[in-house]
Structures are given as structure tokens and as C-alpha cells.
């Protein structure tokens, strides 16, 4: 794993999903086979394989403190092209430092992660007026997780963490994207732990070789899966 500390000129980026996004890191130690964020290599010049490098934006909090004073207030997505709570966050705490600044100015925040490390920042979450915490959970079967995302935390560990956050009366959601084989197994596992779920095929072809190797079929009917969640009183959105 190649770790590099870098300086950036800005940290608040416009987003097509939310108003703003903050990516504290370039690259992700989880290195999931299907991840669309690997496109960033075309712009950064990294020669390493996806999942084998991380650039740490060590001046991100400093830049955020400057930018937040001159940019229009809006919902901030943390993060779009990295996991803000990947293992290296335990050391650098870039995500936590940025959250502290967003809290000071009470900007609304949407967290998206796969990591139980998110529990470290519950003290900050509880002080926000508007915040939601989402976990990317692509399947209900850990054997499938091991095939597509072997370096990411186990499925049950993510679900337990989601439940802990939800019990703190913080709004939570599950991002089931891409919808992998076994996703229907999440129907009962997520009940009472999320306010809603998001379903997305994410029609990128990075992981096609995994489907072929293990003779797996892609989930095609998201409307049917969404209907099953709705029957369990879990609101479902399809992207």
C-alpha cells in the first residue's frame, strides 16, 4: 500500500448527487472490484492498482475552514469517491477534523461509508441539526462480499454499526449499490435499522470478470426488490 501526503487547493467540490462533496482521500484501501471511483487514476497519474494507493489530503481541514466562509451553504456528501472512514482515517483523522468544521457552521451532512470506524464520531453527529449516516451494503451474504469486496468490513459488522447509529436517533440509510447477488437477504437484516434504502445497479463493467469467474448473474429487476422493501415498511429509492 502506497501512502502519500499531499496538499490540495480546495476540498469542497460541487456534486451532482448533493450540493457539495468532500473527499478527504484519493484512493481507497477497500479496493472493491466494482468501484467506479477508479476512474480518478486517469487524472492523478497513479500507476498502482486500485486499492493499493491512498493520497492523504493533509491540509483539507485548513482549506475547508477558508472555503466554508465564502461558499453557499448546502448539503455535504462525505464521500463520493473514497471511503471517508477507510483504515487510514484512524491515524490521520481528516474526516473527523472536517466534520468538526462543518459542525461549527452547522452545514447539513450525509455520510457514506462501509466502516465501523464511523462510531468514533458519534459525539459529533449528535450535535448536528441535520445529518444522516449511510452504509454501503451490497449483499446480505458475506460469501458474496468476500468475492467482490474482500478488503471491506464484513456485512454483519456494517449492519450492527448501522443499528448502533440508528439507536442514537440519527437518521440512517443503506446504499445497496451495486445490487449484488444475495441483496434480497437484506430485507429482514435492515428492518428497524434504517430510515430508507437506495438501490442502484451501477452499470459499470469493472467487475464483469468476477461475475464470469464465479458464474453469477446480475440483478436486473430493481423495481421488484424495491417493492419487497416497501412491504417491510422500508422506503426504497431507485437511482
Residues 6+ apart with CB under 8 A from 85: 95, 113, 114, 115, 117, 118
CA-CA distance, 202 to 221, in Å (whole number)?
Answer: 13
**Cell 431507485 sits on residue:** 238
Could you give the residue range(s) of every CATH 3.20.20.70 domain in the chain?
Answer: 136-239
Mean per-residue pLDDT for 118-141? 98
Q: What is the pLDDT of residue 29?
A: 94
- pLDDT in the model for residue 38: 80
Q: pTM for this structure?
A: 0.94
Burial 147-176 (b: 16+ CB within 10 A, else e): bbbeebbebeebbebbebbbeeebbbbbbb
Choose the CATH number for 136-239 among 1.10.260.40, 3.20.20.70, 1.20.272.10, 2.40.30.10. Answer: 3.20.20.70
Q: Residue written as cell 448546502?
A: 74
Counting residues of the chain whose pLDDT is more than 90, the rounded percentage is 86
Per residue in 23-72, pLDDT tens?
Answer: 999 999 999 999 988 888 888 888 888 889 999 999 999 999 999 999 99
| Least confident range of 123-127, 169-173, 207-211, 234-238 | 207-211
Region 214-221 average pLDDT: 88
Amino acid at each position: 500500500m502506497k501512502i502519500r501526503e499531499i496538499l490540495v487547493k480546495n476540498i469542497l467540490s460541487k456534486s451532482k448527487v448533493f450540493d457539495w462533496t468532500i473527499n478527504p482521500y484519493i484512493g481507497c484501501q477497500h479496493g472493491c472490484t466494482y468501484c467506479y471511483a477508479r476512474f480518478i487514476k486517469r487524472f492523478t497519474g497513479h500507476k498502482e492498482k486500485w486499492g493499493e494507493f491512498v493520497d492523504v489530503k493533509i491540509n483539507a481541514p485548513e482549506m475547508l475552514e477558508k472555503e466554508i466562509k465564502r461558499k453557499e451553504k448546502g448539503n455535504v456528501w462525505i464521500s463520493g469517491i473514497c471511503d471517508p472512514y477507510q483504515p487510514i482515517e484512524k491515524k490521520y483523522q481528516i474526516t473527523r477534523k472536517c466534520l468538526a468544521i462543518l459542525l461549527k457552521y452547522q452545514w447539513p451532512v450525509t455520510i457514506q461509508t462501509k466502516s465501523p470506524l464511523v462510531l468514533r464520531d458519534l459525539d459529533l453527529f449528535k450535535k448536528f441539526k441535520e445529518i444522516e449516516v449511510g452504509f454501503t451494503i451490497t449483499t446480505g451474504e458475506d460469501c458474496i462480499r468476500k468475492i467482490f469486496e474482500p478488503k471491506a468490513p464484513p456485512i454483519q459488522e456494517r449492519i450492527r454499526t448501522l443499528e448502533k447509529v440508528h439507536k442514537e436517533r440519527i437518521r440512517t440509510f443503506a446504499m445497496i449499490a451495486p445490487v449484488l447477488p444475495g441483496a434480497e437477504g437484506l430485507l429482514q437484516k435492515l428492518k428497524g435499522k434504517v430510515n430508507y434504502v437506495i438501490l442502484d445497479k451501477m452499470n459499470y463493467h469493472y467487475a464483469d470478470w468476477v461475475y464470469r469467474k464465479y458464474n453469477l448473474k446480475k440483478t436486473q429487476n430493481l423495481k421488484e426488490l424495491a417493492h419487497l422493501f416497501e412491504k417491510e415498511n422500508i422506503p426504497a429509492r431507485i437511482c
